[in-house]
Amino acid sequence: MSSVDASSSFLCTLPGVDKGIAYHVAVLFVDAAHPKGVRFTSFVGGGRRSFEVLTEVASLQGAIASSCEGLCRLAIGQAIRDHLYEKTREGDYLLDPDAAPWEGELRPVGVGATPRRPRQHFPG
């Protein structure tokens, strides 16, 4: 897994009041090839909420070990299953590799954003 190869940062919506709460989900790395977990952060609603689902590199297997998106989906599945977003004051959590990966919409952050040339204004 490499933080440079593909997006390691996503937006998703977790259960919450009304339609849910938007979260920024990002893979945290020990170095460029070894993830140490996933950080969830939301600024929506009553202040900042943040928690982490940490992992041990040795516990990552198969597609989860090589995909930031796969790791995020697994962490989101666990966060929803265990209602971790309601327990942010309790600290961080250890990734459960047996959690069911989340299958909802996961929007990459920063992918495909190419710099544009500045607009030029010519006096007419």
Structure tokens at 62: 């198969």
Break the chain into its structural domains and give their ranges. Answer: 9-108
In the predicted model, what is the mean pLDDT of the chain? 79
Answering whether pTM is above 0.95, one says no
Residue 100 has pLDDT above 90, yes or no: yes
Q: How confident is the model at residue 113 (pLDDT cuts 50, 70, 90)?
A: very low
> Letter for the amino acid at 58?
A
pLDDT digits (tens, 9 = 90+) for 28-83: 888 777 788 999 998 776 667 889 999 876 666 655 666 889 999 999 999 999 99
Which pLDDT value is given to residue 30?
Answer: 81
